[in-house]
Structure 1
Amino acid sequence: MRWPGRPGAAGHWTEQPGSGGPQVPAAPAWMRWLPVFYIAGILVLEPLTPVQWPVSFLLIALPVITAFAYGPVAVGAITAFTIVFEGILAGTPCCAGRPVSYVWERHYVTAYVCTALVGILGTILAAHRVRRERTLATVRFVAEIAQRVLLGPVPHRVGPIQVEALYLSAAAEARIGGDLYEAVPTTYGLRLVIGDVRGKGLLAVETAATLLGAFREAAHDEPDLAAVARRVETSMNRRSARLAGSDMGERFVTAVFAEIPHRHLVRIVNCGHPPPLLIRPDGVTELETADPAPPLNLGMLLTQAYQIDEYPFRPGDQLLLYTDGVTEARDSAGAFYPLPQRVLSWGPLPPRELLDRLHHDLLVYSNNRLHDDTAALAVYHMPD
């Protein structure tokens, strides 16, 4: 399919730096200010209520409210402040609406004791929350490191070709999944792969690692793109045979292999994967193949050699490879994400800006509810 477009110019971009270490996310601003608002509300209600309604007793809950956003030291300090503040309210007739002081009245003494007990529980709660948050931050950091090892940085410039990558994990707590990509400069030109492993979890990551390891070797050794795909398929089959006792044999990978040789064309081998988009100043084209191969690890279904499709790839053209996490994103009405139409409406963009725009648009379209991992590669042929 093809949609008419409009011309535009490419621009420049900068690489976004990664995190330097585990970082515990700060609590939302409203949660940090909640203890202040709570105290202010009690100060407003206290002089307005009858003597029989000692609203200051509500301060007992203040340590627990503080524990949701602050650490144990802060909770302990708030507990001491709360007990003192309760005594001030009880002993200030003009502010509490009482003719006499009630500082040591038994109900207020009971309130002091209860506040201290709640403060102890709040301190324990805050310590547990901080420990869990640090553990979660460490897990996310390790997952990010594993993701970088698995999907190392792509070469941003290979001759006249510029490459940028995008990866989004549907699991916010562990930013690693079964989507994969790679770009390898070789003597045969720039070779790329993007794929999507069936399933989730550790086995999916192991499958992705197997595929990427095979591709990185075959990309340098095999002179033909179809031979690269066949060698990767062989590696996948060998791993399945070694893990016959698990469900590894049922796991397969949809993938697209691409090759940009040292002239103005691109070769594509599609193994059951969504077709890439070829973005030109005059339109957007889906590079569908007439005879796609089955997904990797299902090579026994292939009765003939892998089909290689060739397309012109001239200066100013851009190739967008993506996984089905993009096209299967849904809006509130359940409609799938219309990728070609969206890309067309944006006009020509440089690779980094294109992927950033795609990232933002996917989150807006799905109302921040991506249900599948997402990966994308943008490959731009710079003008001569």
Structure 2
Amino acid sequence: MTIGLQRLLAARGALLPGADAGEETVRAPRVRSSVLFGGLALLTAMVVLLDIQTGEELRLVPLLVVVPALVSVFGTIRQTAGVSVLIMLVVTGSHLSTGGTRGDVLTGISFTVLACCLGIGACVLRIRHATQIARLRSAAVALQRQILRPLPILTDQVLAHGIYIPIEEDRLVGGDIYEVVQSPYGTRVIIGDVQGKGVAAIGAGFAVLGAFREAAIREPVLTGVVDALEDAVARHNVFSAQTGEAERFVTALVLGFDGSDRVETVNCGHLLPRLLHEGAAGPAPLRHTSVPLGLAELSHEGRVAERLDFPPGATLLLFTDGVTEARDASGAFYPLDARLGRWAHRAPYDVLTALDADLDAFSDGVRRDDIAALALRRAVADDPGWPGPTGHGARRAAEVFGGR
């Protein structure tokens, strides 16, 4: 299970869609009733005293009709209704005690009742909308938990640790994806970011993941895997256009590990990975960046595979733009390379733990995009960052694929 999902589960409990969970999350009072009604009593007393001092020239008590509308923004339905009843009693009593024509009194009382009812109605609508959003968000996060494989993942060639932290807003989740597949040709890895957010982005991401899981096993060369991904996004866009959805593209970094000291990479418009080795950290020296998946028709150049040195003990960090585009209160971007230099000597899991905590502190807990990151290390038995013996990945692949 990823660090991000662990944190979500700890904060929310079981993330299964359901009315009870959503309503409990939304209906829990943000302000204690004793504090709310105590403050209301103090406010009412002050307004009544000021009203008595100003006399007939300036009536202040009728202004209390705005209080239910204010409470409806943060209170529960019961709190808003209770405040409305108290305000109606105070304002009605004020109208009756000050006299005036019957028409003026009835008009004032009717306006008070109407304003209080509107405050209660606004609170009901707010709670209903927030409950629906909570249910949809829980369902979307549960859906992504099924689409994205839990980490860490151990294969014959690599150990992959990772974090995935979905953004929490009304548009629900984004389209960050990752996968690690043990194949007859070694380990294939992808990390990507679908354009846009919401359920449509999840659909495009699922199309890429499905194609990758199949092509990673079927295709002997890495560029063949990427061509299959391009075809999958193109087919998805055709279907999206037929159903009225916007076409999307996907930035992706695809890697192949064959057990040697080098890793093969194809970059489809994605961020450069970072290499951490012997206390130093920096961008991987890759020269070729192709267009994102789904945009191959706009380029006359085919996608090129490069080989990158990946010595034992080194960590290769892959990530999406939720990391580099995180901002602090002043609007400054997260200084990833400067921070990675502090953790270059750490094991992969410790690097991700430090990155997650540092991002949260840097952005003060305000995330504007999904965050996905993978930390990869070669399978070396005497590596302190390696959790156990190797070999089960190839045996499993041989069982499933007939030893191809």
2:77 to 68, 72, 79: 72
Which residue in 1 is equivalent to 2:39?
Answer: 37
Highest relative contact order (Cα 8 Å, sep 6+), 1 or 2? 1
State the 1:77 CA deviation: 2.9
Cα distance, 1:84–1:203 mapped onto 2, change above 3 Å? closer
Where does residue 99 of structure 2 map in the other structure? 106
Give the 3 Å change call, closer, same or farther, for CA 247–299 of structure 1 in structure 2: farther
Residues 324-350 of structure 1, C-alpha deviations (whole Å, 9 max, x = no match)? 343344557765433211211345455
**Equivalences for residues 1-384 of structure 1 within 5 A:** 15-16=6-7, 18=9, 19-21=15-17, 22-23=21-22, 24-25=25-26, 26=28, 28-29=30-31, 33=35, 36-44=38-46, 46-47=48-49, 50=53, 52=55, 55-84=60-89, 104-106=97-99, 114-158=111-155, 161-169=159-167, 172-199=169-196, 204-240=201-237, 251-262=248-259, 265-299=262-296, 301=299, 303=301, 306-315=304-313, 317-329=314-326, 336-346=333-343, 348-349=345-346, 351=348, 354-355=351-352, 357-359=354-356, 361-362=358-359, 365=362, 372-380=369-377, 383=384
State whether residues 172 and 198 of structure 2, in contact with CA within 8 Å, keep that contact through their aligned partners in structure 1: no
Q: Distance in 1 between matches of 2:174 and 2:233?
A: 18
| Residue-by-residue CA offset, 1:228-250 (whole Å, 9 max, x unaligned) | 22332333344456667799997
Question: What is the CA distance between 1:216 and its match in structure 2?
Answer: 0.9
Aligned residues: 359
Alpha carbon RMSD of aligned pairs, Å?
Answer: 4.1
Instruction: Verify the 8 A CA contact 2:16 2:139 in the aligned structure 1.
Output: no
Is the CA contact 2:4–2:164 (under 8 Å) kept in the aligned structure 1? no
Deviation at 1:142, TM superposition (A): 2.8
Q: Could you tell me how far apart the structure 2 residues matched to 1:255 and 1:309 are?
A: 16
Q: Return 5+ residue gaps in structure 2 as ranges.
A: 10-14, 387-404
Letter in 1 for 2:123: A
- 5+ unaligned residues in a row in structure 1: which ranges? 1-11, 91-101
- Residue type of the partner of 2:150? P
Q: Distance in 2 between matches of 1:364 and 1:353?
A: 17
AA at the equivalent of 1:66: V
Letter in 1 for 2:249: F
- 8 Å Cα contact 1:197/1:204 also seen in 2: yes
Which of 190-199 and 53-62 deviates more? 53-62
The superposition leaves residues 28-64 of structure 1 with CA deviations (integer Å, 9 ceiling, x where unpaired) of 5499955543431332454465161665444433333
Moved more, 231-240 or 24-33: 24-33
Partners of 1:143 and 1:212 lie apart in 2 by: 17
Query: Partner amino acid for 2:76?
Result: G
Partners of 1:216 and 1:140 lie apart in 2 by 26
1:277 Cα deviation (Å)?
A: 0.8
Q: State the shift of 1:321 in Å.
A: 0.6
Q: Which amino acid aligns with 1:76?
A: A
- CA distance in 2 between counterparts of 1:321 and 1:223 reads 23
Structure 1 stretch 356-365 or stretch 244-253: which is displaced more? 244-253
CA distance in structure 1 between the partners assigned to 2:54 and 2:246 by the alignment:
75
Checking the alignment, whether the CA contact within 8 Å between 2:191 and 2:318 is kept in structure 1 is yes
**Structure 2 CA distance for partners of 1:138 and 1:243, relative to 1, 3 Å:** closer
Counterpart AA for 1:106: G
Q: Sort the Cα spacing of 1:305 and 1:20 in 2 relative to 1 into closer, same or farther, 3 A.
A: closer
User: SS in structure 1 opposite 2:340?
Assistant: helix
Amino acid at match of 2:277: R
Distance 1:342 1:206 in 2: 34
Amino acid at match of 1:173: D
Q: Distance in 1 between matches of 2:234 and 2:80?
A: 57
> 2:394 maps to which residue?
none
Write the distance in 2 (CA, Å) between the matches of 1:261 and 1:123.
64
Decide whether the 8 Å contact of 2:162 with 2:372 is kept in 1.
no
Q: Secondary structure at the match of 1:16?
A: helix
CA distance in 1, matches of 2:186, 2:226: 16
8 Å Cα contact 1:46/1:54 also seen in 2: no
Does the residue aligned with 2:181 lie in a helix, a strand or coil?
Answer: strand
Q: What does residue 396 of structure 2 align with? A: none
Q: CA deviation at 1:69?
A: 2.6
- TM-superposed deviation, 1:185: 3.4
TM-score normalized by the length of structure 2: 0.71
Q: CA deviation at 1:158?
A: 4.4
Provide closer, same or farther for how the CA distance between residues 242 and 368 of structure 1 changes in structure 2, counting only shifts above 3 A: same
Higher helix share: 2
Amino acid at match of 1:50: Q
In the TM superposition, what is the alpha-carbon distance from 1:256 to its structure 2 partner?
0.8
Is the 8 Å Cα contact of residues 320 and 379 (structure 1) preserved in structure 2? yes
Q: Aligned partners of 2:41, 2:159: CA distance in 1, in Å? A: 61
My pick for the range that moved more, 123-132 or 43-52, is 43-52
Q: Closer, same or farther in 2 for the Cα pair 1:132/1:330, shift >3 Å?
A: closer
Residues 13, 353 of structure 1: 8 Å contact kept: no
Tell me the equivalent position of 2:395: none
- Partners of 1:241 and 1:76 lie apart in 2 by 52
